[in-house]
Structure 1
Amino acid sequence: MRTPAPRGRRAVLVAVATTVTALPLAAVLTVASAAPPAPPLGACSGPDCPGTWPPAHNGDFPGRDATVNVFTGGDYTVNGRAAEAEGRIVALGNLTVDKNGGGAYNMGVVGVGSRVVPPNGSDFVITGGDVDVRTGNTVLIGGIDSRGPAFGNLRHAGSVTGAVNIDPTGESIQDPNAAAPYRSVLTRIEEVSGCVGRATATGTVAVTSSEATFTGDGTSAKQVFNVTQDLASPSGGQIGLVFAGIPAGATVVVNMLGDSPVVNTYTGTGLAGDQTTEMRSKLMYNFPTATSAQILGSAQFQGSVLAGNPGGTTTIAQPGMNGRVYLAGSLVHTGTGGYEIHSYPFDGDLPDCAVTPSPSPTSSTPSPSPTSPAPTSPSPTSPATTSPTSPAPTSPTSPTSSAPTSSAPTSPSAGATTSSAGPAPTGLHPTEEPTGHPGGGGQLPSTGAGNAPVVFGVAGVGLLGLGGLAVLAARRRRGRHG
């Protein structure tokens, strides 16, 4: 179980953050020391965080997490056959659920995921706009395990139309200020995504028709890769992702630079021994300026996502997205099957934009012409426009990709299941909790499949044992995943 930071340390952090924000705009930004995200973003928060985060499963809740798992500064739209989003969810805009053919969309609690859910009685879903659940669709909030329920609120600034089922004793609370405590989170996501996007590369990226290889420097605690092309085959199909030269415990940042970047991959199982599973809690994909970003493929994708353009839209269409999703703009969650977002923490150390005040004159005597201009180095020390030293793509002209291009999962573990239907804020490096709202007190590539009944596949997964089947018996009476 994670031990909360001492109050004294929090007080110091609050003072530092207040001082930084009070500095003049002419101050110089530098990429310097480590900056782990703090609540309400990043690592698990609250007294009941699990000591170990399990692979995706359908067993009892291993812990509770008050941290936001999905944040959108814009709208949150669900279409296609997307099925679930786990953990605490905040959308400053509208929430619209309009699945192809209708059906259920689980929020807060999912049937198969980390099963680390928000604290009981807290706000599971918060919107700054309307909630529009189109005809034939249903939003389900809350769930149950063999020991009891997980219940929380839908707090919304606008109206609610359509079918929203909330497990007792969660409530639908109309609150015009629902999103107010989270406005500063949007600003911090913009700032930090932009800062991280300007970080100097420490490694190189080689992209072929079938694989992208990220080669680190072998020593840095923060490994940065700047990518100026899609992580996809020449025809846009899936490729593998491989990392080398990454020291144990290093934070890995993949900056996807450009207006419309695409990641299309089959890499990721979520099982022990998988390279990206081991990297997950310190792996961040950053889209600092994208107006249209896409994360596609057939994997249990491992790692978190950061997108800094408030006018941008990020589309997620992976069977499993296993990590935080922090977007200044809008989110489209879609897919051809029961595609899901699972709650897993990010506790890496991002490149930090520390603010250095402008030098002040050494003499109090006015001087008609200062010998040194106010900021002696007006541009960031981590150049925003430095050409990435890494990408060096070597994509051949022949699109002979050996990677699968189908949306069906290609990983060996096929425990597909359908299932039942998350995480609080001030910024990526915020130091105080928001006020006004109650605080948080193997490859299973497709865990929802249309209107199919609940079916658990155990071959090759080893996740669904007798305990999991017992949970199935205790699962709430209504169906999951329309």
Structure 2
Amino acid sequence: MRTPASGGRRAVRVAVATGVAALPLAAVLTVGSAAPLAPPLGACTGPDCPATWPAPNNGDFTGRDSTINVFTGGDYTVNGRAAEAEGKIVALGNLTVEKDGGGVYNMGVVGVGSRVPPPDGSDFVTTGGNVDVRRGNRILIGGSDSHGQAFGNLRHAGGVTGTVNIDPTGRSIQDDDAAAPYRAVLTRIEETSDCVGRATATGTVDISSSTATFTGDGTSARQVFSVTRDLASPTGGQIGLVFTGIPAGATVVVNMLGDSPVINTYTGTALPGDQTTEMRSKLMYNFPTATSARILGSAQFQGSVLAGNPAGTTTIAQAGMNGRVYLAGSLIHTGTGGYEIHSYPFDGDLPECTVTPSPSPTSTSPSPTSSPTSPAPTSPTPPHPTSPHPTSPHPTSPHPTSPHPTSPSPSRHSPSASGSHHHSPSAGASTSSAGPAPSSHHPTWHPSGQPTGHHPGDGGELPSTGAGNAPVVFGLAGVGLLGLGGLAVMAARRRGRHG
């Protein structure tokens, strides 16, 4: 059973807020119908979504995507040799870049990825806290292809310390309410992860010393697997991931249950014909209760990630991460090489939970129930044992040509903790004023999933070479933090730019 300190805590809140507040009855949370993630999460949104998403490349842009690709309810920390994160990025806590030996971290547009950036003039990066770029490091926002620029804004509630390069005509916008439009998104991620984690398994998982085999039932449109062990070798090394019995077009959910689960794999090439490439847009790895989750390996990892514990930290140290990353807690992006997060959509149908009121002992007539779109039998809660951590998490991989990232011990971050160390830009780094910032003005979401009211224009690593157009450079100093709260309930080419 789920421990009271983890999923049970959130389930009680949902039941109380959604059921008991409206009716003087007990309420039961059940897994019933299925639904896609609604904007600004999930599938691509906007008028310029590509009909076909290409494999990671450094060619011309093939479309634009207004959907959030990376969301953290807590802090976003970059260390090791992580290089890039593509697409629209929202961090409700602080954004800190402190790479080993310094260097560049690209955001919004990357040298090699899907090459589907957010719309020009929109907010490419939003933070509810401070932006702290440590000495010797830089953030680059924006990029170009053979036809011209892709440019967007950095919107931040707190201060900016260090060097941030923003391609014209993107701007640095200080906005005390930068996080306000996304607080309900945080709650939705937390509750969706909890609900998905309750779904009854439809298939089995067999984990050997070299391979994890997921065997589906061959018929269900939603294939669910419950994993109570690390997806790693007995010594913590990389293993292969194989799926069988999965109908074409089925949504596949892998629930990683436990406090400290690990995925360490070399599976995934991102090339057409690769099994996980074909599954990518409907493949979701869910960490409903983890306080420390790690996704490690040397692959072009395929599929999206959902993590529901707002006190948790997810460490991503995969050579390429190809899918949405939606975390209620914090993110550490790290690795031993130029590790990257690429923007690819999730358009599968996830389990959906409903609150069913139960009659009180004195009730003389049936109590009303919420009406799901399909029958909603009560699903037993899968077990959540604590996954043991091997003492040597990165032994020699069975995949001889794969590099092995060294995962740091994830540090816990509080969404409301402000950055405490601020350094001046490195010697020789150019800085300039961003000019007068527009008045604080936080966006709202219109039906297409894009924020409005921001700006008139809202609307393994592969090598790269050369530089884009000269960027505008911002080196602002300051400290600030927007406290998080008020949670709602349920609801060209950029070449050679990373260091």
TM-score range, shorter chain: 0.7 to 0.9
- 1:212 to 1:22, Cα distance in 2 relative to 1, 3 A: closer
Give the counterpart letter for 2:118 in structure 1.
P
Q: How far apart are 1:370 and its partner, in Å?
A: 2.5
Partner of 1:404: 399
Question: SS of the residue aligned with 2:233?
Answer: coil
What are the residue-to-residue correspondences of 1:65-464 with 2, within 5 Å? 65-357=65-357, 369-371=362-364, 381-383=377-379, 385-387=381-383, 403-404=398-399, 408=403, 437=454, 441=459, 445-447=460-462, 454=465
Structure 1 stretches of 5 or more lacking a match? 1-19, 361-367, 389-398, 411-423, 456-468
Deviations 1:229-250 (A, max 9, x none): 0000000000000000000000
* CA displacement at 1:166 relative to structure 2: 0.1
| CA distance in structure 2 between the partners assigned to 1:425 and 1:195 by the alignment | 26
Q: Spell out, residue by residue over 1:119-145, the C-alpha distance to the aligned partner (whole angstroms, 9 max, x if none).
A: 000000000000000000000000000
> Cα–Cα, structure 1 residues 470 and 288, in superposed 2: closer, same or farther, change >3 Å?
closer
Please name the residue that 2:422 is paired with: none
> Identity of counterpart residues, as a percentage?
77
SS in 2 for 1:42: coil
Q: Deviation per CA, 1:143-200, whole angstroms, max 9, x where unpaired?
A: 0001110000000000000000000000000000001000001101110100000100
- 284 and 155 in structure 1: CA distance in 2 versus 1, 3 angstrom threshold: same
Match of 1:227, as an amino acid? V
Query: Does the 8 Å CA contact 1:73/1:327 hold for their aligned counterparts?
Result: yes
Query: Do the aligned partners of 2:357 and 2:369 also contact (CA within 8 Å) in 1?
Result: no
Which whole-Å deviations, capped at 9, do the CAs of 1:370-429 have from their partners, x for residues lacking one?
24796999xx944453459xxxxxxxxxx999723875289xxxxxxxxxxxxx988xxx
Letter in structure 2 aligned against 1:246: I
CA separation in 1, counterparts of 2:452 and 2:395? Answer: 55
What per-residue deviation string (whole Å, max 9, x for no partner) do you get for residues 200-245 of structure 1?
0000000000000000000000000000000000000000000000
What is the aligned partner in structure 1 of residue 42 from structure 2? 42
2:33 and 2:356 map into 1 onto residues whose CA distance is 13
Tell me, in whole angstroms, the C-alpha distance in 1 between the residues paired with 2:190 and 2:176. 24
CA contact (8 A) 2:18 2:355 kept: no
Indicate conservation of the 8 Å contact 1:200/1:382, yes or no: no
1:436 Cα deviation from its structure 2 partner: 5.1
Q: 1:157 & 1:320 partners in 2: Cα distance? A: 30
SS of residue matched to 2:341: strand
**What is the CA deviation profile of residues 265-302 of structure 1, one whole-angstrom value per residue up to 9, with x for unaligned ones?**
00000000100000000000000000000000000000
Partner secondary structure for residue 355 of structure 2: strand
SS in 1 for 2:59: coil
State the TM-score, normalizing by the size of structure 2.
0.75
CA deviations on 1:77-96 (whole Å, 9 max, x unpaired) are 00000000000000000000
Point out 4+ residue stretches in structure 1 off by more than 6 angstroms: 399-402, 430-433
- SS of 2:182's equivalent in the other structure is helix
Rounded Cα–Cα distance in structure 1 between residues aligned with 2:279 and 2:251: 8
Letter in structure 2 aligned against 1:454: T
Tell me the distance in 2 between the aligned counterparts of 1:435 and 1:211. Answer: 47
Contact kept? 1:181, 1:436, Cα under 8 Å: no
**Aligned-partner Cα distance in 1 for 2:159–2:41:** 27
Q: Look up the match of 1:17.
A: none
- The question of whether the paired residues in 1 share the 8 Å contact of 2:133 and 2:139 is answered with yes
* Contact 1:210–1:233 under 8 Å retained in 2: yes
| Cα pair distance change 1:61/1:349, threshold 3 Å | same
SS of the aligned residue for 2:277 comes to helix
After superposition, give the CA deviation of every residue in 1:16-64 in whole Å (9 maximum; x if it has no partner). xxxx986545543221111101110000000000000000000000000
Unaligned 5+ runs, structure 2: 1-15, 371-375, 385-393, 406-442, 470-491
- The letter of the residue matching 1:481 is H
Looking at structure 1, the residues matched to 396 and 167 of structure 2 have their Cα atoms a distance apart, in angstroms, of 47
8 Å CA contact retained: 1:185, 1:425: no
d(CA) in 2 for partners of 1:359, 1:336: 57
Q: Distance in 2 between matches of 1:406 and 1:295?
A: 19
Query: Corresponding residue for 1:15?
Result: none
Q: Considering only aligned residues, what root-mean-square deviation do their CA atoms show, in Å?
A: 3.1
Equivalences, count: 405
- Secondary structure in 2 matching 1:236: coil
TM-score, structure 1 as length reference: 0.78
Residues 444 and 452 in structure 2, CA contact (< 8 A), matched pair in contact too? no
Aligned-partner residue type, residue 465 of structure 2: V
User: How has the CA–CA distance of structure 1 residues 59 and 433 changed in structure 2, closer, same or farther, with 3 Å as cutoff?
Assistant: closer
CA contact (8 A) 1:269 1:299 kept: yes
Task: State the 1:447 CA deviation.
Answer: 3.2
The Cα of 1:454 is off from its aligned counterpart by: 2.6
Tell me the SS of whatever aligns to 1:117. Answer: coil
> Contact 1:108–1:117 (CA<8 Å) still a contact in 2?
yes
Query: SS of the residue aligned with 1:297?
Result: strand
Quick check: 1:253–1:284 contact (8 Å CA) kept in 2?
Answer: yes
Counterpart in 2 of 1:459? none
Distance 2:177 2:468 in 1: 41
SS class of match (1:242)? strand
Sort the Cα spacing of 1:375 and 1:260 in 2 relative to 1 into closer, same or farther, 3 A: farther
Q: Distance in 1 between matches of 2:179 and 2:54?
A: 31
Counterpart in the other structure of 1:10 = none
Q: Which residue of 2 aligns with 1:416?
A: none
